[in-house]
Structure 1
Amino acid sequence: MEIIKEITFQETFSVRHKVLRKGKPIETCFFDGDNLEQTKHFGYFNNGKIVGVVSIYKNKNSIFKFPNQYQIRGMAILEEFQEKGYGKLLIKHCEDYLKNNDTNLIWFNARETAVTFYEKLGYTKNGFPFTITDVGIHFLMFKNL
């Protein structure tokens, strides 16, 4: 059985650590804003096991002139479950949740390797690539809701 449901930020760590912070201390899996009330964390469960996570943060990027913006962070699917459509379902879940909460725009910093995935979901690159220390090359991406 497969299901997406809201989880705690601590529950994201098992997937974030294996996918996004491989070889780094578990403490690096805590992101600023994880514990704020308006931040939401969602998990994709396959047969009761959490195999994918995504978090959304109420965070305004001054580049965009929309009043109600959310940022996606910590999008990760365990390697053995990638390319099965789970990431797409998690992003769609976030979009539906945010549309129902009057959000105008979703934005995030996408790893270079994930840009094509997000473009297929209707997201657009904005500006030039930039490097996040110890993580790699990223692009600012967004989508109007």
Structure 2
Amino acid sequence: MSQSDPQPLRAGPGDIAVRDVALSATKDLRARVLRNHIPGSPAHTPSDDLADTWHLGAFRGDRLVGVVTVFPQDAPGHPGVPAQRFRFMAVEPSEQGTGAGSALMKEVIGRARARGDRLLWANGRDTALDFYVRLGFEVADESFTESNLPHHVVVRRIS
């Protein structure tokens, strides 16, 4: 692209609407974004079917551009502290960096706080750690491998 060519426009987070979605609405995006390196790997876990699990979608207009699944589970090292764990945080590659992921997390934090939870946590991919740190998460020291990729536990106090 030459200097005289206009830069591509990227929509801001104000263009994103976050709302509840069915589990079935999350699976395609989960598989394409999070399991593309492991063809045939399921984008479903038993926690998806728990009564207290909730699924959110980020929409740009009518287009689903991001998803996350959240359920109550104690955070590592914090037994008995009311906590929500999130999994399968996925944003369309073309939408990454446009605010969709931040809009999802803002909604998750707000809902968890309203429920009386004090912690929010996940096993975050190392490639996403900067994103989580910008949102106020602390990164645990110990690295581990999940789905063939390096991860760290990320935890955010929300009380």
**TM-score interval, smaller chain:** over 0.9
Secondary structure of 1:60's match?
A: coil
1:24 aligns with 2:39: yes
Report the aligned-residue RMSD. 1.4
**Is contact 2:16–2:99 with CA below 8 Å preserved after alignment?**
no
Superposition map of 1:1-145 within 5 A: 2-22=16-36, 24-25=39-40, 28-132=42-146, 134-145=147-158
What is the number of equivalent residue pairs in this alignment? Answer: 143
Distance change in 2, residues 1:61/1:89 (3 Å): same
TM-score (norm 1): 0.92
Q: What amino acid maps onto 1:32 in structure 2?
A: P
TM-score (norm 2): 0.85
Tell me the percent identity.
Answer: 25
Distance change in 2, residues 1:2/1:119 (3 Å): closer
CA drift of 1:62 comes to 4.3
**Is contact 1:130–1:137 with CA below 8 Å preserved after alignment?**
yes
Segments of 4+ moved more than 2 angstroms: none
Distance (Å, rounded) in 1 between the aligned partners of 2:93 and 2:61: 16
Q: What amino acid maps onto 2:151 in structure 1?
A: H
> Can you give the 5+ residue segments of structure 2 that lack an aligned partner in the other structure?
1-14
**Is contact 2:16–2:103 with CA below 8 Å preserved after alignment?**
no
Secondary structure of 2:47's match?
A: coil
CA drift of 1:106 comes to 0.6
CA drift of 1:9 comes to 1.2
**Is contact 1:66–1:105 with CA below 8 Å preserved after alignment?**
no
Q: What amino acid maps onto 1:137 in structure 2?
A: P
| Bigger Rg, which one | 2
Distance (Å, rounded) in 2 between the aligned partners of 1:99 and 1:20: 27
